[in-house]
């Protein structure tokens, strides 16, 4: 006897989605005074109503994007940000970047492009910038994984952070965010990866800083994923190679106040350092 799937489907009870809970969760009460998001890192200050406030570049619940063409020292700046968030002696190399870390939060650093040897050198750089070993800094090499596996690994680390780490995760770096998708020009894949990032932001109230390549011809981040990242990021940080091969850092897009441009280079010990923050 042939099965009548149309008839069978009538008898299958599909649970009704709880749109009421969704609406309540998404509702914004305009009479409620919301607190400013927790600041992780800031560069400089701005004046508002005769008071000075730190110019935030990374806050909890948001994500940022470091963009540049290939070989423009993006990973060096990423190390500077992580080292500065750890604190310690980082102000010796980057006196313009201020940490607001008030507890021993966990930092996760995912590298998608390098093998273990070179990735370890990059990871160690952040600790060298801070001047000591930070036990809550955990690093992962993911070049050998598929794009879906990278997404699932990050998701696993966050879902199981209470058992994996000694303290809550507060900052994540994804060095090579384009490698979270098989094809940066695939709209569906790119949207899925961007949705993962924003969901992690919301569910765990963390900051995620991403590193993404720019097209050398158009000057735009690669593919549809680059477009999504550019639109959704709290802060877009752009790197430009100068004639002397130093790097100018600017803030073309920001949801808040923009930080002042600065220039950094790399010293003989392979550590990035601030050259100039006055223009």
What is the predicted pLDDT for the residue at 11?
59
Of residues 58, 118, 71, the one with CA closest to residue 214: 71
Look at residue 28 and tell me whether its pLDDT is greater than 90.
Answer: no
- Under the banding of pLDDT at 50, 70 and 90, the label for residue 10 is low
Of residues 77, 67, 134, 142, the one with CA closest to residue 111: 142
What is the predicted pLDDT for the residue at 6?
57
Buried b (16+ CB within 10 A) or exposed e, 134-163: bebbbbbbbeebebeebbeebeebbeebee
What is the predicted pLDDT for the residue at 117?
96
What is the predicted pLDDT for the residue at 220?
75
Look at residue 1 and tell me whether its pLDDT is greater than 80.
Answer: no
- Under the banding of pLDDT at 50, 70 and 90, the label for residue 130 is very high
Strand-pair category, 39-48 with 97-99: antiparallel
Across the range 142-169, mean pLDDT stands at 96
What is the predicted pLDDT for the residue at 32?
85
Look at residue 66 and tell me whether its pLDDT is greater than 80.
Answer: yes
Q: What separation, in Å, do the N-terminal and C-terminal C-alpha atoms of the chain show?
A: 81
What is the predicted pLDDT for the residue at 228?
86
Look at residue 3 and tell me whether its pLDDT is greater than 60.
Answer: no
Look at residue 14 and tell me whether its pLDDT is greater than 70.
Answer: no
- Under the banding of pLDDT at 50, 70 and 90, the label for residue 42 is very high
Of residues 141, 83, 81, 152, the one with CA closest to residue 111: 141
Question: Torsion-angle region of residue 197: left (phi > 0), alpha (psi -120 to 50) or beta?
Answer: alpha
Higher pLDDT, 256 or 273: 273
> Over pLDDT 70: what percentage of the chain?
93
- Under the banding of pLDDT at 50, 70 and 90, the label for residue 70 is confident
Across the range 5-34, mean pLDDT stands at 73
The pLDDT tens digits of the residues spanning 212-237 come to 988 776 777 778 888 888 888 999 99
Distances (CA, A) of 161 to 140, 142, 166, 186: 14, 18, 8, 31
What is the predicted pLDDT for the residue at 12?
58
- Under the banding of pLDDT at 50, 70 and 90, the label for residue 2 is low
Look at residue 279 and tell me whether its pLDDT is greater than 70.
Answer: no
Look at residue 93 and tell me whether its pLDDT is greater than 70.
Answer: yes
Higher pLDDT, 243 or 6: 243
Both structure tokens of 4: 């009548």
Neighbours of 44 (CB within 10 A): 17
Mean pLDDT for the chain? Answer: 91
């Amino acid at each position: 006897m042939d099965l009548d799937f149309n008839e069978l489907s009538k008898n299958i009870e599909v649970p009704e989605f709880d749109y009421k809970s969704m609406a309540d969760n998404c509702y914004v009460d305009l009479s409620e005074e919301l607190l400013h998001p927790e600041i992780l890192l800031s560069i400089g200050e701005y004046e508002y109503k005769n008071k000075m406030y730190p110019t935030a570049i990374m806050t909890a619940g948001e994500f940022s994007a470091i963009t540049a063409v290939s070989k423009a020292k993006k990973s060096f700046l990423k190390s500077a940000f992580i080292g500065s968030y750890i604190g310690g002696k980082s102000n010796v190399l980057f006196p313009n970047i201020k940490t607001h870390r008030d507890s021993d939060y966990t930092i996760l650093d995912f590298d998608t492009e390098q093998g273990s040897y070179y990735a370890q050198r990059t990871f160690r750089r952040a600790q060298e910038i801070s001047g000591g070993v930070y036990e809550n800094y955990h690093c992962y090499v993911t070049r050998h994984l598929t794009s879906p596996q990278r997404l699932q690994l990050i998701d696993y680390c966050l879902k199981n952070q209470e058992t994996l780490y000694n303290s809550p995760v507060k900052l994540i770096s994804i060095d090579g965010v384009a490698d979270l998708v098989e094809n940066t020009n695939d709209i569906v894949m790119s949207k899925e990866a961007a949705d993962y990032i924003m969901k992690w932001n919301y569910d765990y109230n963390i900051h995620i800083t991403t590193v993404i390549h720019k097209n050398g011809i158009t000057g735009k981040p690669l593919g549809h994923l680059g477009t999504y990242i550019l639109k959704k990021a709290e802060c877009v940080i752009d790197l430009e190679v100068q004639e002397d091969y130093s790097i100018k850092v600017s803030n073309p897009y920001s949801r808040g106040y923009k930080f002042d441009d600065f220039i950094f280079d790399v010293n003989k010990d392979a550590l990035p350092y601030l050259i100039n923050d006055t223009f």
